[in-house]
Every structure is written in structure tokens, then in C-alpha cells.
Amino acid sequence: MDLDFTPEQQALLAALARMVDDNCAMPTENGVVAAVKWARGVGLECALEAGGFLDVALAEGCGALEAALLVAECGRSPLVVETAGSALIGPLLAGRSLSRPVAVARAEDLTRGVRFLDTAKTLIVLDGEDAVLLRAGDLDVIPLDGPYAWPLGRLATGPDLSSGERLAGRGAELERLWRLGLALEAGAALRAAIDFTNDYVKQRMVFGRPVGSFQAVQHRLSIDAVRAEGVRWLALKAAWSGDAADAALAALHAQRSILQVVYDCHQFNGALGMTLEHALHFWTFRLRWLVGELGGWSRQAASAAELIWPDASAA
Amino acid sequence: MDFAWDETDEAYRAELREVIADLPRDWWENYAPHGPASPQVMDNARGFNAELARRDLVVRHWPSAYGGQDADAWKQIVISEEMWSLGEPRSSLYLGANWAGPAIMKFGTEAQKQKYLRAIAEAKLLWCQGFSEPEAGTDLGNMKTRADPVPGGYVLNGSKVWTSYAARADIMFLLARIGGKGKGGVSCFLIPTDTPGIEIRPIRGVHSEWDFNEVFFSDAFVPSDALLGEEGNGWAIVQTIIHYERIGAARYEKSARGLDHLVGILKARGQWDDPVCRAECAAARSLVEAARLLTYRVIDGRAKQREPGAETYLARYAMIEADHAVANITSTWLPDLLIDGADGHARAQFNSAITAGIAAGAAEVQLNMVSGRHLGLPRGA
Ligand SMILES: Cc1cc2nc3c(=O)[nH]c(=O)nc-3n(C[C@H](O)[C@H](O)[C@H](O)COP(=O)(O)OP(=O)(O)OC[C@H]3O[C@@H](n4cnc5c(N)ncnc54)[C@H](O)[C@@H]3O)c2cc1C
């Protein structure tokens, strides 16, 4: 066992970190940071695209783990970038790079709400036991808004999946990759929200001392950190192993942890955390969507249970 | 990055399982549920440990100069997974191998190393830990037991409490004060438990009839070479020990195998049809696996000779949560398994889970450490 990244992985991470840091400027309005629910990381997307990073999963000597590092690293940006579909799920499912951005949805969610559907060029649909790849540009998409920091859209009418490329029997593989992507995105956002909150409670003074010096605050934030680290490592392991149960556990742990962390982070940022001027919601409102994706934690739990303790193994 | 065990780990595990195969057939019924400090397990451990030693399995990861085989630190967690998951058939030999040994390796004289490290490698001693006192648990610096220097050694007076294994252990890793206040003056001693002037009284526990003891010292004389390290240097030794103690026992593995066992019973009883129960089992498993990986991260650092840091406390807290999650499955869906004699495997997991957040440092203390070392938050008032 060796839990360090290889020198190549470290170099990849360093390059990604630079790109994320160089491209994190928020949009401004009249010279001040715009109070927006979310903003797209166009600069970062362009840099990733130009550098060929989004195809890392298919590069020689690379695979899911490298793609996972990309998704996790970009996921800490306050700006929204579509990476899980483009860099991880799409290429590893289809074995080739797909037109980007890539949206991923369950068939039953297409008329309810899907991340990135408004601008997606490719739509990957989980349709029972199959996966279906669709050209998304022609679809009639209605953009959506809500307490979520993602671009969201839904189809105006029920989907016609017959025009897509049907990958028969690949639904389980799609679900595995999606769970992995979800855990990576959630893990990154959990960490970022905790880091942001941690900075805040160190400098916000109450009763003459930092908010973060109160044990009631420290312990909750520490439990949140334990959870976030757990999600991160479960996701890395799942990326490494390619195992469906590992991916289900990672997504499950993420979705079981999200609401507590989101609650704590908002709580410790006080009223300021309830404003669009304060950056916290860039991550927490992302997490609020991720907690319900793919059917929510009970669905990941049901799959994990079936994968780990298959019915055939009944005592 | 590679999460796979290497061949030497697998081979080591296989060798350990050969010895494990010879545990009494009624291990889960009549041994494990009473706990690793019970007379049943401690008496059995003498023979079991001798066989481990005969095959050179006890401390593979130690230097060969002290009875090991210069193997990497992963071997320590391999043996811990195999043993702790069974309710620790080595009994308190693990305590010597996990942290007393490393402390002696770092702070002991050459004579102490030859004497005690060899004895651990040869599985000759069962250990106990004399740290806590009635007025010094979390606040360990408040300990009062005294070691007064006299010609040729020290005279011990005071008392320890909660001292697991003491009633049947051979040797105690003791903290006593040579003057000083708070952390100053605290010193470490290695003392035989049959030293005249030491009286040991058992305390019955909710998790085990046999675990806890009180230990009283009344003018107990120990020779100078019982002192480990320098006089008054005990606190530094404790700081070293803490990392090995908190991340040493593979609690997650006991929970993982305990959970597999519970799921087998839930299926046999038809309760697996309950989707909430299934989901909670999976959620418990996710906590267990998270704890496993956070532990592996600590071991990875150890294998690379890195200074231990905040990871220890993150992993320890994760293990506490995981232990409780599995015990809660038993409590919620299989409460009858905890009745005396009903199911020793479930009972053993439950018994150690309910103490997980107190033994080896309260859960809140782990969180204090995460706050300070991982999050860098200012000390609380
Ligand atoms: C099963 C078991 C086996 C043990 N075996 C041994 C042994 O072999 N040798 C030995 O020396 N000791 C042993 N102990 C003792 C153990 O180390 C202590 O119980 C532990 O350090 C806590 O001390 P305490 O029980 O005095 O609790 P206290 O110090 O009285 O604390 C009580 C509770 O207060 C809270 N608390 C305390 N301090 C803080 C703080 N700073 N911040 C927030 N909350 C806090 C925690 O919830 C804590 O559990 C064992 C304990 C158990 C349960």
C-alpha cells in the first residue's frame, strides 16, 4: 500500500491547482463582486480544455484516478465548472471523449431538473440497465433556478431516447462512475465549505474572542472535517479500485454527511452566510443539490447493501 | 497511489490465520464476549502468543536487533486487523507490541531494550497501562501517584484506576510523579505487577466483568532501572505513545466483520427485507470504511517515517463513530443478541464499541485535537 500520489499525479495536481487559483476571480458588477447564486468558471473551463486536461482519463498511463484528481481539484473552486461528466463519466463510459459540456441524468429526472442541461452538448441518460448518449444541442431545455449553485435545466417534454446511442447493459457502469463523480464533487465542496468557515470563525470576534475558540463550534466543525476527509478518501479509493461497492459507499458517505456540514457551516457564518455577497453558498448550495442526486442517500445505501451483501449470500 | 496490500502483507496475514485457526472452537461463545482482559482470554493468550512467537509473528515490523524482521509498518496493522477483529486473542500483548515497545525503543536504555523488546517479540509478557487516576483521566497532568527517589530506586505511593488487564498482567507501564506539578515531574516506569506493596482490586464494568482494576501502591520499592527515560520526562514519552495507542487497535475491522455477522443474522431472520435496516447497515459500513482509510493514512505516514500529526485524531474519531454505528444496528434490530449467551460475536463488538469514545482518550479530546491541529483553531477558554 502506498497512499502518496505518484510524481506524475503530484505534477498533475500542481498544474490543476495553479489553474484553479489563477481562474477563481468572481464576476463583478459596478466594480464590486456580483451578488450571484453561482457563476460559471469559464476561464478555468477554457484552460482545462486548452491544456487537454479534460481527456486525462484516456491519456497514456492515466485513468480514473487522474480524472478523479481533476474533478476534486476543480470542485474546490467557488466557480462552477463541469468536470465530472466531461473528464470522468463520459470518457470512461464511452471510451472516447464526448462533446462538452456533458450532462448526466436519470431518465425520470429529465423533466424535473438536471445539472448543466441548459448548455450541455452531450447528455448521458441512465435508462434502467442501459446508458444512452444523446446530442444535447437540439433538445428543448428550460433553464431552472432555485436554492442551488449549479446551472440547471429540464426538458420541456418527455425525452425521446430512441435517437441516442444506446449502450446496452452499461447502466450499472454509468451509475458507478456517476457515484464516484458525485462523491468527488461533494468531497471537494465539503472541504471548501469547511475551509471557508474555518477561516471565518478564526477572524470573527464575539465577546472579545474568535467564534472559533468556542468548543461548541470547534467540535462540530471537527466532526465535519472528519466526515469530509472520510468522503475524500473513500472517493479516492473508489477511483483507484473501480469497484461499484466502493463508489456506492463513497457517494453514500457524502450524501449522509452533506446536510450536517451545510447546516453547521451556515450556522457558524451567522447572517453574513445568508447573503449572496458571502461566498459560502457557492459550495453549500452546490451540496444542497448533490445531496439529492441519483435518488439520495437511501438509493446509494440500497445499492451498497446489495453489492456488499448480495441476496444470494443470504445465510 | 496504491491501495493494494503487497505480497508480504498477504503472506503475513495467511500465517496469522494459521495460528488463529487453532483458537478454541467455542471462541465466540466462551472467550471473546468476556473481553480481552477476561481470565478466559488472558489465560488462553499465554499459549496462543507463544505460538505466534514461535513463528516469529509478533512484531515483524520491528528491527531485527530487537526481535523483529525489519518489515514495514503495515505489518502492525495487518496483525491488528486479524487479532482485534476476533476480540484480541493476544490479550494485552498487543499493548506491548503497539505502543509500550515503540516507547522503549525510543526512550529506553540498551539494557531495557534487550530485556523488554525481546520479551515482547517472544510474547513472554502481558502488559497493563497505569496512567489514569481517580482525579486524573482526561486531565492526566493532575495525576498524584508519587515515585520518591531512595537509594537504589524509587518508592511508589498512590493509586491508579481503570487499569485494564492489571489483575493478570505481568508488567505495568506506569506514570508516577517525581516531584513537580502538572506535566512536569511525570515519569515513566516499567514495573512487575507482583512488586511487593502493589495491591490490585477488580472493578466490574458494564462492558466486561473483568476489564477494570484499581491499583494501589503502598511504599512499593522499584529499582532505578525501572525508570524509562529521564526523571520528569514522562510527558514527552506520553506524547509519543499517544499516536501509537490511538491508532494501533484496528477497531474498524472488528466493526466490519461484526457488521457482516449481523447482516447474516438479519437475512436469516427475514429482517433484511426492511429497506431502512438495509440502508442503515450500508451507512454503518460507509463509516467503517472511512475509518479504515483514515487509519491507513496514518499507517502510511508511519511506514514512511513521517512525524505523526492531526491524521491520528481524525482517524480515531472516525473509528469511534464507526464502532457506535455498528453497535447501534445490533441495539436497534437485534437487541436480543446482547443477552448473555445469545451471540458472543455481536456482544464482543458491542462491548468494545460502547467504550470506544472513552478509552484511549475521550471522543471530545480527539475533537479538541482535530480543532487545534487540523483546523488550527485557537484554544478554547
Ligand atoms: C474500557 C476502558 C478501559 C480503560 N483502560 C485504561 C487503562 O488500561 N489504563 C489507564 O490508565 N486508563 C484506562 N482507561 C481510562 C481512560 O483513559 C479514561 O477513562 C479517559 O482518559 C477519560 O478519563 P475519565 O474517565 O476520568 O473522564 P473525565 O476526564 O472525567 O471526563 C469525563 C468526560 O468529560 C468530557 N471531557 C473531559 N475533558 C474534556 C475536554 N477537555 N473537552 C471536552 N470534553 C471533555 C468527555 O466527554 C469525557 O468522557 C480506560 C477507560 C475505559 C472506558
**Nearest alpha carbon, ligand 1 atom 49:** B362
Is residue A242 a part of any domain in this protein?
Answer: yes
Q: What is the pLDDT of residue B177?
A: 97
* Mean pLDDT, chain B, whole residue set: 96
User: By the 8 A CB rule, do B141 and B238 touch?
Assistant: no
Give the DSSP H/E element, type plus range, for residue A199: helix A171-203
Mean pLDDT computed over A132-145: 93
Contact A1 B376 (CB under 8 A): no
Is residue A139 a part of any domain in this protein?
Answer: no
Please name each of the domains of chain B with its CATH number: 7-125 (1.10.540.10), 129-233 (2.40.110.10), 246-374 (1.20.140.10)
pLDDT level of residue B330 (50, 70, 90 thresholds) = very high
Give the CATH number of the domain where residue A258 resides: 1.20.140.10
* Mean pLDDT, chain A, whole residue set: 96
CA distance B290 to chain A (A): 5
**CA of B362 relative to ligand 1 center, distance in Å:** 5
Mean pLDDT computed over B331-357: 97
Residue A126's DSSP bridge partners are A106, A131
B165-193 tens-digit pLDDT:
999 999 999 999 998 888 999 999 999 99
Please tell me the distance from the alpha carbon of residue A141 to that of residue A135, in angstroms, as a whole number.
13
Dihedral angle over CA of A25, A12, A124, A149, nearest 10: -30
Q: Which of B371, B358, B273 is nearest to B313 (CA)?
A: B371
Mean pLDDT computed over A258-283: 96
CA distance B318 to chain A (A): 6
Q: Which of A242, A269, A238, A265 is nearest to A252 (CA)?
A: A238
Please tell me the distance from the alpha carbon of residue B306 to that of residue B323, in angstroms, as a whole number.
27
Is residue A223 a part of any domain in this protein?
Answer: yes
pLDDT level of residue B3 (50, 70, 90 thresholds) = very high
The domain containing residue A222 runs over which residues?
Answer: 171-308
Is residue A17 a part of any domain in this protein?
Answer: no
- What total number of domains does chain A contain? 1
Residue A109 predicted with pLDDT over 70? yes
Ligand 1 binding site (Cβ under 6 Å of any ligand atom): B 129-132, 137-139, 162-164, 211, 355, 358-359, 361-362, 364-365, 368
The number of the ligand 1 atom at minimal distance from the alpha carbon of B357 is 49
Contact A253 B380 (CB under 8 A): no
Q: Dmax over Cα atoms in chain B, in whole Å?
A: 72
Is residue A191 a part of any domain in this protein?
Answer: yes
CA distances for A251 relative to A91, A226, A257, A299, angstroms: 20, 16, 10, 10
Q: What is the pLDDT of residue A311?
A: 84
A173-208 tens-digit pLDDT:
999 999 999 999 999 999 999 999 999 999 999 999
Is residue A81 a part of any domain in this protein?
Answer: no
Mean pLDDT computed over A197-223: 97
B346-366 tens-digit pLDDT:
999 999 999 999 998 999 999
Mean pLDDT computed over B232-243: 91
Residue A313 predicted with pLDDT over 90? no
Mutation test of the interface with chain B: which of A195, A218, A253, choosing the one with the most B Cβ atoms within 10 A? A218
Q: What is the pLDDT of residue A315?
A: 44
- The amino acid present at B194, given as its one-letter code, is D
Please tell me the distance from the alpha carbon of residue A250 to that of residue A247, in angstroms, as a whole number.
5
Q: What angle do CA B275, B280, B284 make, to 5 degrees?
A: 150
User: Percent of chain A having pLDDT more than 90?
Assistant: 93
Q: What is the pLDDT of residue A239?
A: 98
Taking the model in full, what pTM does it have? 0.97
B189-231 tens-digit pLDDT:
999 999 999 999 999 999 999 999 999 999 999 999 999 999 9
Mean pLDDT computed over A252-263: 98
